[in-house]
């Protein structure tokens, strides 16, 4: 069934769609109903850059509040009112001891002999991975690094090996592996090399908790491998839940393990929900900084450079997630992630712009009260909470001084100028393979923007065009997700290539 914005698109054609050919390609698997409707329309003026801006118009993507709204189409997850109850007692999240929890005793934060909880970091040389390494290094006796997995940054991995002394490391890139394997082995560590090595590391003996911090859909297989092996997963790779939330949560529940959120917003919600009954919760509220371009016009956004987009005003993050934050796609992905973690439908997950990034998440209760978590914008706090849960560790971050923080402000997101948030809501409402397509198309568009081949507004335009051509189908297994992902990437690349050539010709 097609999903339409509550605000009609601006009349006119989509030049991105025309550049790749007017005939819509099939998604590889038809589903009942129509495709997601495109949000793109003609702009009032042409933008600069190789691809002319189309300035899509989108609404908030949320329908009227319904007291008993059903989960997204294709979802098999119970709503928040039907949580799994574990050993820790009732909770407002899907599992009493965590967002997804099985009925087993949670091991304490220390392994035998006081050595500390064994942790594997997938994506150790990325932004989250580096901060996780710092947390582990500063908590000897509580946490210990069993394994570290990286893509190709052997130099940074070597630094981490010398600091953390893990048993094993992995380099996914074969060329980097050949270069760095002998160097790393001289440090007395076992080295795995090549595609799939992160999956092997995710199941390594001695690790109780796996931090999944590989960027993008590439983190899905290692995340599933860790869950299948019975490891609790501290999840920083939101794309795993976006693309395959139903599959990931089913595996976690079947294996009796937890998904512990690392994103600061979901960690805040998780903390707010501890000990609350499902029937007490009205809705969840995610906060967004608004990114570096909050308040900018569409015309100004057409001139944004990659260097400007990766400079987040509050957080230190990698390039891809920084661009996602600037487009508000990151917040859209987080809405989908919250749906799978906490079992609430889109209608009961709201987003508010909070430029100071002090309030990280809020839970509105049925009696009108709202509870929130406030902290300085430092990812080490939610990382530490996920790695130490159910206990809390010592304070590693600067204390929040509310008097010094000053005024805290909140505003509605501008989905007319930044339509990616609305696209994510609509993909969640469509269900099935639609979120996987959203994620894959976005990854391709962001890569093109960072390479200087696409103007900033073209990211949303590309995602909207790919979603418009897709007919969602149910996700019955990993193959469905991978097929949708591959189709969306091919479709996005075709659109981008056609638009690039059209822009050069003009």
CB 471 within 8 A of CB 491: no
Q: Is 443 left (phi over 0), alpha (psi -120 to 50) or beta?
A: alpha
Q: How far apart are the first and last CA of the chain?
A: 37
Residue 256 — left, alpha, or beta (φ > 0 → left; ψ -120 to 50 → alpha)? left
H/E element holding 96? Answer: none
Burial 80-119 (b: 16+ CB within 10 A, else e): beebbebeeeebbbbbbbbbbbbeeebeebbbeeeebbbb
Cβ-Cβ contacts under 8 Å for 420 (sequence gap 6 or more): 324, 327, 328, 329, 332, 442, 459, 460, 463
Q: Residues annotated in the binding site for 1-deoxy-D-xylulose 5-phosphate, as ranges? A: 238, 264-265, 289, 312, 325, 330-331, 334
- What residue numbers does the annotated binding site cover? 125-128, 151-152, 237-239, 263-265, 289, 312, 318, 325, 330-331, 334
Task: Give CA–CA dist 252/227, Å, rounded.
Answer: 6
Residue pair 425/60 in contact (Cβ under 8 Å)? The answer is yes
Cα 114 to Cα 117: distance, rounded to the nearest angstrom: 9
Tokens 């300035």 correspond to: 55
Q: Residues within the annotated binding site for Mn(2+)?
A: 263, 265, 334
Q: Which residues are annotated as a binding site for NADPH?
A: 125-128, 151-152, 237, 239, 318
| DSSP tag of 430 | H
CA distance 392 to 414: 37
Helix, strand, coil percentages in the chain from 3-state DSSP, rounded to 5: 40, 15, 45
Residue 287's closest CA among 218, 225, 377, 213?
A: 377
Cα(120)–Cα(208) distance, integer angstroms: 8
CA R_g for the chain: 22
Q: How far apart are CA 459 and CA 419, in angstroms?
A: 10
Q: Are 434 and 467 in contact (CB under 8 A)?
A: yes
Residue/partner pairs of 136-139 with CB below 8 Å, 24 or more apart:
136/164, 136/387, 137/163, 137/164, 138/396, 139/384, 139/388, 139/393, 139/394, 139/396
């Amino acid at each position: 069934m097609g999903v339409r914005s509550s605000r009609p698109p601006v009349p006119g054609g989509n030049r991105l769609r025309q550049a790749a050919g007017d005939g819509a390609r099939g998604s590889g698997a038809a589903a009942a109903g129509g495709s997601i409707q495109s949000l793109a329309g003609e702009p009032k003026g042409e933008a600069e850059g190789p691809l002319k801006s189309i300035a899509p118009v989108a609404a908030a993507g949320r329908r009227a509040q319904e007291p008993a709204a059903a989960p997204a189409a294709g979802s098999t997850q119970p709503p928040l009112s039907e949580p799994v109850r574990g050993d820790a007692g009732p909770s407002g999240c899907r599992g009493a001891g965590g967002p997804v929890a099985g009925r087993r005793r949670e091991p304490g934060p220390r392994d035998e002999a006081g050595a500390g909880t064994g942790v594997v970091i997938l994506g150790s040389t990325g932004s989250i991975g580096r901060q996780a390494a710092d947390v582990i290094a500063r908590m000897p006796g509580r946490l210990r690094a069993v394994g570290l997995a990286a893509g190709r940054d052997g130099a940074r991995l070597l630094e981490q090996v010398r600091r953390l002394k893990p048993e094993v490391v992995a380099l996914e890139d074969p060329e980097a592996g050949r270069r760095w394997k002998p160097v790393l082995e001289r440090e007395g560590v076992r080295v795995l090399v090549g595609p799939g090595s992160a999956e092997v590391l995710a199941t390594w003996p001695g690790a109780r908790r796996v931090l999944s911090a590989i960027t993008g859909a590439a983190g899905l297989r290692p995340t599933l491998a860790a869950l299948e092996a019975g490891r609790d997963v501290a999840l920083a790779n939101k794309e795993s839940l976006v693309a395959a939330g139903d599959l990931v949560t089913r595996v976690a529940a079947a294996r009796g393990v937890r998904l512990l959120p690392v994103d600061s917003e979901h960690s805040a919600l998780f903390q707010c929900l501890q000990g609350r009954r499902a029937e007490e919760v009205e809705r969840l509220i995610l906060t967004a900084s608004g990114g570096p371009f909050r308040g900018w016009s569409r015309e100004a956004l057409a001139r944004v450079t990659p260097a400007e987009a990766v400079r987040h005003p509050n957080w230190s993050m990698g390039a891809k997630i920084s661009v996602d934050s600037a487009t508000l796609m990151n917040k859209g992905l987080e809405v989908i992630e919250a749906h799978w973690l906490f079992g609430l439908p889109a209608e009961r997950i709201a987003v508010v712009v909070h430029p100071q990034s002090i309030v990280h998440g809020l839970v509105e209760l049925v009696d009108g009260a709202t509870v929130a978590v406030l902290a300085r914008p430092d990812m080490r706090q939610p990382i530490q909470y996920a790695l130490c849960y159910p206990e809390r560790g010592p304070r590693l971050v600067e204390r929040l001084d509310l008097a010094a923080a000053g005024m805290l402000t909140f505003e509605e997101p501008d989905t007319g100028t930044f339509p990616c948030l609305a696209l994510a809501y609509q993909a969640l409402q469509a269900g099935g393979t639609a979120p996987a397509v959203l994620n894959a198309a976005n990854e391709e568009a962001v890569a093109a923007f960072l390479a200087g081949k696409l103007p900033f507004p073209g990211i949303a335009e590309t995602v909207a065009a790919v979603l418009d051509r897709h007919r969602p189908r149910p996700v019955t297994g990993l193959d469905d997700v991978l097929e949708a992902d591959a189709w969306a990437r091919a479709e996005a690349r075709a659109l981008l290539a056609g638009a690039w050539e059209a822009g050069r010709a003009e």
